[in-house]
């Protein structure tokens, strides 16, 4: 059975506290949603604002394969704005719980059914596809819910949806509810919220109970605790419910997730299923050893399935097998006693609460292997002039192969100026800075700054780290350490 996916990242997802997307950003997300195979894209709520209508119109005129919907209340004013945006369909949201009908709308059951019927009729008269979403359906009287749906069906509604607006269903009650509603002759959808962390589980149960369409948001963003997560649900259907499928290209899920994280600024928790930083990372020795022998031992799916790569993390739980692998990747070969020494040194560092990076591993390995590298470049001095009225300028004194050199540079900020002053020298040409990452180790303005950079020269890539109270010193130190490593061979 094929399950259709309605993605509401651009409507319910944008209702995430603190999230607001530009038209251009919405169009980029919609384009990717269409590419990845989402069946229906809820592009926004046309009544909201002029800017919102502009975004919806832009998305509607792209000629996407996906159906484009706007959210709408059952009011002709709202629906007229949807018509103006030239969408294919409306998501007509009709509250059905007593709480919403009497306290929010201050109306009666019979008036509500009339309102709903008229709105469906009005949409159909204007050639729109209509999905009728019963808001707060999970707290509604089931018989009343059924009569709202069957009335709407008489008026030509195309699909109906059960909204668990405050996320109070459980996998059992979700199955029960859908099981009672599956004798309508239109597709039935499920829209879940994650207030108790059950949105994905409830959505899977809804499918078992008869839902043939699901509402999701990318990364599960949305009001309060968010909506059903697109990636977790789609991959679960694919891997865990063999009798069901979707039209989603699963191997593009990670790219989709990263795009939305970047544009919304809502970052993903590291331990989030499928798309979290650690979802395919292994540190423990027992696990790493198993994974290297057969990845199925500790991975329920391959990272490639969702467009990712496996990662072995260096740390105190890492066994010698995984460590040896990592050292080989860094081009270092060690004997058994050296390997054990490196392993012990890593544990000492990790016990101090420090994240062990490749840079640390390299330093530890160098010490154990007694490889004493003479650094070709040494920083003697760096001086910065910066402020709100001057172009940030840096002068540096460095020693390269024993020769003292003075140089200066300007930049967009003091760090940029300092790096520019260094890298304009001949020895740095062909070296590209491909990553620059700053962390403040403690909270205050007196915090230590940890800078990690990645440098590339031809096909060789190294990372290096600088930790200082001063961000410029930390950056320059990391940069020069990285260049020295690149120039070592
Ligand atoms: Mn919602």
Domains in the chain, start-ordered, CATH in brackets?
Answer: 4-264 (3.20.20.70), 281-369 (no CATH), 377-488 (3.30.160.270)
Q: How far is CA 278 from CA 102, 270, 310, 330, 489, in A?
A: 47, 5, 9, 21, 33
Distance 12 CA to ligand 1 centre (A): 5
Q: What is the pLDDT of residue 372?
A: 63
Give the single-character DSSP code of 313: P
Judge whether 284 and 40 are in contact, CB under 8 Å.
no
CA of 13 to the centre of ligand 1 (A): 8
Q: For residue 13, how many C-alpha atoms fall within 13 Å in the half-sphere facing its CB?
A: 30
Instruction: Say how far apart CA 136 and CA 100 lie, in whole Å.
Output: 8
CB neighbours (10 Å) of residue 143? 8
CA of 135 to the centre of ligand 1 (A): 8
Query: How many whole angstroms from 131 Cα to the centroid of ligand 1?
Result: 14
CA distance 416 to 434: 14
Q: What is the Å distance from ligand 1's center to 316 Cα?
A: 43
CA 149 – ligand 1 centroid, Å: 19
Please give the distance, rounded to the nearest whole angstrom, from the Cα atom of residue 262 to the centre of ligand 1: 22
Reading the chain (489 residues) residue by residue, the pLDDT tens digits are 999 999 999 999 998 888 889 999 999 999 999 999 999 999 999 999 999 999 999 999 999 999 999 999 999 999 999 999 999 999 999 999 988 887 887 888 899 999 999 999 999 999 999 999 999 999 999 999 999 999 999 999 999 999 999 999 999 999 999 999 988 999 999 999 999 999 999 999 999 999 999 999 999 999 999 999 999 999 999 999 999 999 999 999 999 999 999 999 898 998 999 999 889 988 777 787 888 888 888 889 999 999 998 887 877 787 788 888 888 877 788 899 999 988 888 888 788 776 777 777 877 887 787 666 678 899 999 999 998 889 999 999 999 999 999 999 999 999 999 999 998 888 888 899 988 888 776 667 777 788 888 889 888 888 888 877 889 998 998 899 889 888 876
Span from the CA of 224 to the centroid of ligand 1 (angstroms): 10
What is the spatial distance between Cα 328 and Cα 337, in angstroms, rounded to a whole number?
16
In the sheet that holds 431-440, the strands lie side by side as: 431-440, 449-457, 460-468
**pLDDT of res. 371:** 65
Residue-level pLDDT at 34: 98
How far does residue 250's CA lie from ligand 1's centre (Å)? Answer: 24
CA of 228 to the centre of ligand 1 (A): 9
Query: What confidence score (pLDDT) does residue 489 get?
Result: 62
Burial class (CB in 10 A: 0-12, 13-18, 19+), 478: buried
Number of residues assigned to the chain: 489
Residue 51 Cα to ligand 1 middle (Å): 21
Q: What's the gap in Å between 430 CA and the centre of ligand 1?
A: 51
Q: How far is the CA of 104 from the centre of ligand 1 (A)?
A: 16
Q: Compute the distance from residue 159 Cα to the ligand 1 centre, in Å.
A: 17
What is the b/e burial string over 328-340, where b = at least 16 CB atoms within 10 angstroms of the residue's CB?
Answer: eeeebebeeebbe
Spacing, Cα 160 to ligand 1 middle (Å): 14
At 443 the pLDDT is: 62
pTM across the whole model: 0.76
Q: What is the pLDDT of residue 293?
A: 84
């Amino acid at each position: 059975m094929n399950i259709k996916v309605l993605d509401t990242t651009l409507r319910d997802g944008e209702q995430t506290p603190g999230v607001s997307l530009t038209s251009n950003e919405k169009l980029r997300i919609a384009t990717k949603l269409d590419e990845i195979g989402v069946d229906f894209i809820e592009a926004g709520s046309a009544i909201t604002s002029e800017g919102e209508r502009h975004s919806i119109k832009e998305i509607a005129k792209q000629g996407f394969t996906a159906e484009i919907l706007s959210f709408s209340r059952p009011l002709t004013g709202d629906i007229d704005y949807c018509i103006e945006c030239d969408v294919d369909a409306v998501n007509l949201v009709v509250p059905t719980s007593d709480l919403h009908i009497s306290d929010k709308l201050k109306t009666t059951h019979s008036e509500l059914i009339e309102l709903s019927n008229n709105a469906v009729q009005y949409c159909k008269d204007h050639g729109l596809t209509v999905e009728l979403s019963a808001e707060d359906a999970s707290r509604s009287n089931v018989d009343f819910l059924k009569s709202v749906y069957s009335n709407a069906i008489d008026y030509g509604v195309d699909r109906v949806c059960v909204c668990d607006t405050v996320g109070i269903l459980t996998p059992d009650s979700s199955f029960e509810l859908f099981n009672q509603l599956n004798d309508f002759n239109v597709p039935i959808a499920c829209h879940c919220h994650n207030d108790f962390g059950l949105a994905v589980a409830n959505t899977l149960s809804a499918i078992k109970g008869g839902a043939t369409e699901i509402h999701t948001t990318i990364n599960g963003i949305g009001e309060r605790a968010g909506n059903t997560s697109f990636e977790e649900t789609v991959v679960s259907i694919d891997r865990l419910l063999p009798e069901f499928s979707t039209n989603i290209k699963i191997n593009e899920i990670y790219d989709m997730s990263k795009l939305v994280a970047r544009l919304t600024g809502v970052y993903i928790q590291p331990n989030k299923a499928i798309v979290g930083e650690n979802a395919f990372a292994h540190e423990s020795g027992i696990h790493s050893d198993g994974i290297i022998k057969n990845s199925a031992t500790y991975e329920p799916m391959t990272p490639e399935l969702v467009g990712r790569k496996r990662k072995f993390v260096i740390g105190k739980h890492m066994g010698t097998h995984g460590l040896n692998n990592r050292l080989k990747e860094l081009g270092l070969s060690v004997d058994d006693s050296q390997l054990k020494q490196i392993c012990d040194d890593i544990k000492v560092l990790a016990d101090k609460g420090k994240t062990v990076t490749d840079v640390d591993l390299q330093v530890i390995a160098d010490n154990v292997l007694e490889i004493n590298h003479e650094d070709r470049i040494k920083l003697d001095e760096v001086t910065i002039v910066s402020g709100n009225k001057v172009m940030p300028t840096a002068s540096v004194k460095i020693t390269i192969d024993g020769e003292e050199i003075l140089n200066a540079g300007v930049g967009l900020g003091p760090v940029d100026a300092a790096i520019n002053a260094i890298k304009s020298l001949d020895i740095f040409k062909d070296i590209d800075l491909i990553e620059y990452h700053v962390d403040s180790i403690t909270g205050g303005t007196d915090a230590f700054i940890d800078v990690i950079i990645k440098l590339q020269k031809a096909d060789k890539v190294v990372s290096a780290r600088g930790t200082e109270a001063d961000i410029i010193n930390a950056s320059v130190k990391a940069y020069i350490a990285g260049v020295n490593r690149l120039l070592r061979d």
